[in-house]
């Protein structure tokens, strides 16, 4: 075991050191931060378990990477240290508890509350660096980090005093040296002891003062993070693309590379900025007792200090700050990857000291990673509503950015070629908040040698396989076939979208199904949906579906069972197996009742199980002995004896025994109690006659009933059990424990066919049949009403729905306001259209091309026949209200956040009202927020943050006052 650990430690030291050099030294990381964190944490755990194997050059004992030889070396008078990381609330509590214990051991009673994270350097280094791994770090391996209760953690926090909570910036750590207020030297962190001289480059930063304000100390070393603002990063990448050069990967690496340029002019052009968060060496100046006072002093001197920094008095408040960081992460104009907690009192920092690489008085909390590696399984092409062909990556599912990602965009052919990603590659996937997941590029070091480059397909992936065309000067390919089903699906989806005709109850699944069934072939057909079409849906819902396996076997299922099949993906297959596993650990009475012995109810089963504590004893007992049990009648005793005498049942029970099913009254193991539970609502047991009238035999029906009884109320679900039985995957209840659920995949991928009374056949996939099963009278009625309501939408909405290339939502409004009716737009020439402000020749030509198409003109006439409004201001007020005048921009420059439920507004309507008046609505509270509108059941995180930042809090009435007047109420209501 020790040999294996030694070998793995050596391997990890080599790996982590390599990636440290690539990240800190070369500014060219090869793996995402999350993968690096996993490697380093594994190394730390092994070293904690085997302290005798810790090497002095281990990355757990060092900081950063050796400085580059391109720049002059700079020795740090006080080492620039790194921070320990925490990845959970329990790890934060454990950090605080370790700090409390160390302070208590030093005989110091303190007043500190909470644990905290940071990306900053120690103000003082009071202790010599420890040569060995601290006892405090080994606590993590011992499990002490997860044993701190909420009460204990708050008590610990009270003993630690105030905590400073800061954002953890994703940039490059640097040190600035001011002498008599003048910037004389700037250096990178390097390996913590020696960095690189980047003075000339740092002098190009506009946000950095070359000379401090009056009152600066004789010597002041300031530490902080250099970063690239997101706007500057996007501008730089736009310049790269315009020059035909590849995009930069991320702001952090770009900032680091920009700062290490030999030519300061290049650095100057990159618009870098810096946040200062601590000091190193200091001579002179005022006496500072706390870290928070130090930050205020730096701010007073004119240095950039981040405004999101706060002080808190408890761990719970620090945790709220971390949640706040997650909320505002994507509203900030720069990137962060976590939060930093620091003990505020400098005397406590000095007593706690440091380890060989990090201060004990601070910790960095890492937010969920937004980049991860996974396998690129394949590259497919999707066709959009305007025919645009977009390549996308099919990925091995990976958790990134707070959700599981299985697909990611690749944009276009040029991007695929530039990134050189190939099916089979290990790739880096990025997902930031609500942003569409994106493949950043391959991990070339892990690429198999036999992978071929991917080539863009020449034809559309739909059944018609029409050519994909890329015009000169265009980055995208297009399918120009007007009847392309994929293009049609996208167009109808766009037509029904909220910003277009706003047809509720017509989502993508229904659109796909309606197209497949021939109910709609273009956008105009939506308004021709009639009761006859809905009758078809009802008939299909109650049909029986057939499919044929490769060996010729025919399978017949009704709609509900095919629906159940479609839902049994990999995750649900796992949950099914877990539910079956739980069946092994039932009390004997439940098992006895589940065997479905004739006449044996739940109460009697409990009585029998109490008399005979093992199933084998019940099987071997005589009828006379059974009759001695109070409550067991002669007929019941005979039924029990007959059941256990049956050779078929004996075979089934033998299978149960070999599968490890519990047959006695022993207590359920703790392990079995911790298994995942997944309960279905038991439906009425379906029967499955085939189109040819074939039904289950009497024996099969009995066997199925036994299966149903056996799993009753135990999470398997009657529908799933019936499905397994009809597919032939089980023939008896005992077969559940040898079930191979992966066999379900072959059925899920098949097409299923049905024949209606009129002789017409329909073929659908399992997921389409599942959606068919969800139709109800009410949903169809709601759809009909939504379609009727859509007829009265104003012209601008109709133009959006027509999905004319280059014509965006704003241009639709401009065109509709200028011409008032669709007929006038159709009659206008390209030259006339181009004269409209905001349209221009490209949009004008596209609009003319659209209306000159005969197919499109036919659709327009169908829409006219369906009585859609072709005017910007429909006159029929019973169907739709004429749009009101645009409100004046009274809220320009304001940012409003909502929490809780409002009585007279939904969230979208309220946000739209703000936007219409020139304001902005965001999802999180920050220092830029103007007001927080609070409804019923507000979220505590937003409310607490608003109160901390002293942001005005409004109720619904005050919100309406704001809308009406454009001013905040003079006497804001503060919630208690």
**Cβ count near 960 (within 10 Å):** 16
Are 747 and 565 within 8 A, CB to CB? yes
Q: What is the 3-state secondary structure (H, E, C) of 741-786?
A: HHHHHHHHCCEEEEECCCCCEEEEEHHHHHHHHCCCHHHHHHHHHH
Quick one: which of 42, 80, 76 has its CA closest to 59? Answer: 42
Are 753 and 762 within 8 A, CB to CB? yes
Q: What is the 3-state secondary structure (H, E, C) of 655-683?
A: HHHHCCCCCECCCCCHHHHCCCCCCCCCC
CA 526/CA 538 separation, integer angstroms: 18
Q: Which residue has the tokens 């390919």?
A: 477
Instruction: Give just the sign of the alpha carbon dihedral 643, 646, 649, 654.
Output: positive
CA 834/CA 841 separation, integer angstroms: 5
Q: Is 168 a residue of the active site?
A: yes
Strand partners, 676: none
Q: Would strands 477-479 and 388-400 be described as parallel, antiparallel, or unpaired?
A: antiparallel
- The angle subtended at Cα 123 by Cα 121 and Cα 124, nearest 5°, is 115
Q: Which CA distances in Å does 441 have to 136, 249, 337?
A: 39, 9, 21
Are 835 and 843 within 8 A, CB to CB? no
Query: What CA dihedral angle connects 799, 802, 804 and 809, to 10 degrees?
Result: 40
Quick one: which of 665, 669, 667 has its CA closest to 589? Answer: 665
Which position among 93, 168, 388, 791 bears the catalytic label? 168
CA 732/CA 711 separation, integer angstroms: 12
Are 384 and 326 within 8 A, CB to CB? no
Strand partners, 178: 183, 220
DSSP readout, 23-89?
A: IIISS--SS-HHHHHHHHHHHHHHHHH-GGG--TT-TTTS-S-PPPTTS-EEE-SS------EE-SH
Rounded to 10 deg, the angle between the 33-49 and 2-20 helix axes is 140
CA 825/CA 802 separation, integer angstroms: 13
Instruction: Give just the sign of the alpha carbon dihedral 55, 61, 66, 72.
Output: negative
DSSP readout, 272-297?
A: -EEEEEEEEEEESS----BHHHHHHH
CA 54/CA 43 separation, integer angstroms: 10
Q: Which residues are catalytic?
A: 168
């Amino acid at each position: 075991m020790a040999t294996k650990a030694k070998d793995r430690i050596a391997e990890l030291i080599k790996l982590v050191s390599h990636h440290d050099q690539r990240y800190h030294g070369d500014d060219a990381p090869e793996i995402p931060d999350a993968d690096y964190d996993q490697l380093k944490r594994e190394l730390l755990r092994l070293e904690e378990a085997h302290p005798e194997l810790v090497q002095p050059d281990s990355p757990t004992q060092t900081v950063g990477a050796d400085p580059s030889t391109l720049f002059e070396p700079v020795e740090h008078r006080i080492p620039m240290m790194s921070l320990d990381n925490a990845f959970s609330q329990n790890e934060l509590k454990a950090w605080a508890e370790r700090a409390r214990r160390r302070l208590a051991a030093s005989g110091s009673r303190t007043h500190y509350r909470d644990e905290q994270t940071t990306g900053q350097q120690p103000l003082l280094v009071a202790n010599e660096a420890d040569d060995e791994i601290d006892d405090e770090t080994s606590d993590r391996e011992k499990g002490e980090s997860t044993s701190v209760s909420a009460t204990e953690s708050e008590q610990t926090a009270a003993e630690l005093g105030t905590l400073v909570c800061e954002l953890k910036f994703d940039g490059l750590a640097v040190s600035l040296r001011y002498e008599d207020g003048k910037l004389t030297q700037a250096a990178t962190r390097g390996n913590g002891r020696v960095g690189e001289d980047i003075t000339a480059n740092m002098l190009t930063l506009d946000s950095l003062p070359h000379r401090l304000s009056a009152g600066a100390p004789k010597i002041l070393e300031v530490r902080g993070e250099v970063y690239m603002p997101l706007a500057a990063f996007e501008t730089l990448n736009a310049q790269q693309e315009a020059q035909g050069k590849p995009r930069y990967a991320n702001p952090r690496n770009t900032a680091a590379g920009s700062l290490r340029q030999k030519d300061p002019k290049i650095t100057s052009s990159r618009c870098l900025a810096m946040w200062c968060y601590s000091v190193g060496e200091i001579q002179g100046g005022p006496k500072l007792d706390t870290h928070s006072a130090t930050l205020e002093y730096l701010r007073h001197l004119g240095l950039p200090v981040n405004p999101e920094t706060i002080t808190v008095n408890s761990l719970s408040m620090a945790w709220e700050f971390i949640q706040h960081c997650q909320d505002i992460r994507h509203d900030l104009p720069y990137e962060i990857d976590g939060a930093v907690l620091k003990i505020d009192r400098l005397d406590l920092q000095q007593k706690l000291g440091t380890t060989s690489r990090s201060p004990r008085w601070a910790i960095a909390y890492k937010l969920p990673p937004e980049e991860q590696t996974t396998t690129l399984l394949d590259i497919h092409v999707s066709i959009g509503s305007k025919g645009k062909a977009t390549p996308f990556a099919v990925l091995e599912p990976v958790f990134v950015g707070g959700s599981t990602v299985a697909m990611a965009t690749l944009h276009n052919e040029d991007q695929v070629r530039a990134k050189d990603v190939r099916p089979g590659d290990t790739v880096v996937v990025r997902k930031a908040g609500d942003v569409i997941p994106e493949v950043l590029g391959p991990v070339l070091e892990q690429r198999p040698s036999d992978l071929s480059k991917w080539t863009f397909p020449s034809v559309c992936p739909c059944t018609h396989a029409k050519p994909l065309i890329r015009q000169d000067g265009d980055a995208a390919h297009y399918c120009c076939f007007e009847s392309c089903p994929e293009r049609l699906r996208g167009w109808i989806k766009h037509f029904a979208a909220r910003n277009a005709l706003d047809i509720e109850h017509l989502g993508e699944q229904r659109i796909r199904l309606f197209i497949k069934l021939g109910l709609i072939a273009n956008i105009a057909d939506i308004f021709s949906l009639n009761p006859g079409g809905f009758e078809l849906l009802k008939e299909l819902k109650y049909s029986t579906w057939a499919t044929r396996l490769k060996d010729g076997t025919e399978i017949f299922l009704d709609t509900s069972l095919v629906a159940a099949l479609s839902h049994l993906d990999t995750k649900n297959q796992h949950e099914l197996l877990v539910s079956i596993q739980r069946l092994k650990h039932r009390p004997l009475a439940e098992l006895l009742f589940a065997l479905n012995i004739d006449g044996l109810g739940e109460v009697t089963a409990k009585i029998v199980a109490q008399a005979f504590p093992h199933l084998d004893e019940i099987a071997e007992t005589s009828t006379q002995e059974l009759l001695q049990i109070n409550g067991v009648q002669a007929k019941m005793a005979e039924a029990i004896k007959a059941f256990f005498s049956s050779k078929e049942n004996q075979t089934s029970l033998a299978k149960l025994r070999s599968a490890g099913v519990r047959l006695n009254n022993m207590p359920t193991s703790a392990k079995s109690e911790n298994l995942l539970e997944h309960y279905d609502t038991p439906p009425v047991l379906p029967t499955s006659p085939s189109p040819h009238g074939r039904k289950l035999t009497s024996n099969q029906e009995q066997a199925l009933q036994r299966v149903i009884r056996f799993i009753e109320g135990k999470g398997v679900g009657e529908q799933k059990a019936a499905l397994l039985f009809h597919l032939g995957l089980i023939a008896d209840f005992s077969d559940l424990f040898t079930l191979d659920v992966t066999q379900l995949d072959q059925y899920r991928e098949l097409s299923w066919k049905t024949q209606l009374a009129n002789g017409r056949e329909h073929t659908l996939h399992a997921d389409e049949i599942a959606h068919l099963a969800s139709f109800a009278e009410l949903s169809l009625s709601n759809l009909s009403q939504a379609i009727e309501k859509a007829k009265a939408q104003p012209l601008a909405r109709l133009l959006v729905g027509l999905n004319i290339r280059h014509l965006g939502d704003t241009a639709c409004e401009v065109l509709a306001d200028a011409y008032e009716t669709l007929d006038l737009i159709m009659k206008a020439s390209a030259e006339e259209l181009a004269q409209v402000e905001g349209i221009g020749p490209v949009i004008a030509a596209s609009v003319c091309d659209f209306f000159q198409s005969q197919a499109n003109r036919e659709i327009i006439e169908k829409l006219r026949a369906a009585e859609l409004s072709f005017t910007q201001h429909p006159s029929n007020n019973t169907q739709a209200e004429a749009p009101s005048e645009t409100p004046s921009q009274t809220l320009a420059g304001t940012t409003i956040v909502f929490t809780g439920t409002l009585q007279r507004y939904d969230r979208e309507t309220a946000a739209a009202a703000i936007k219409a008046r020139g304001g902005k609505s965001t999802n999180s509270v920050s220092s830029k927020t103007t007001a927080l509108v609070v409804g019923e059941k507000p979220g505590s995180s937003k409310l607490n943050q608003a109160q901390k930042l002293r942001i005005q809090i409004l109720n619904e009435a005050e919100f309406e006052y704001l809308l009406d007047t454009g001013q905040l109420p003079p006497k804001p209501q503060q919630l208690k």
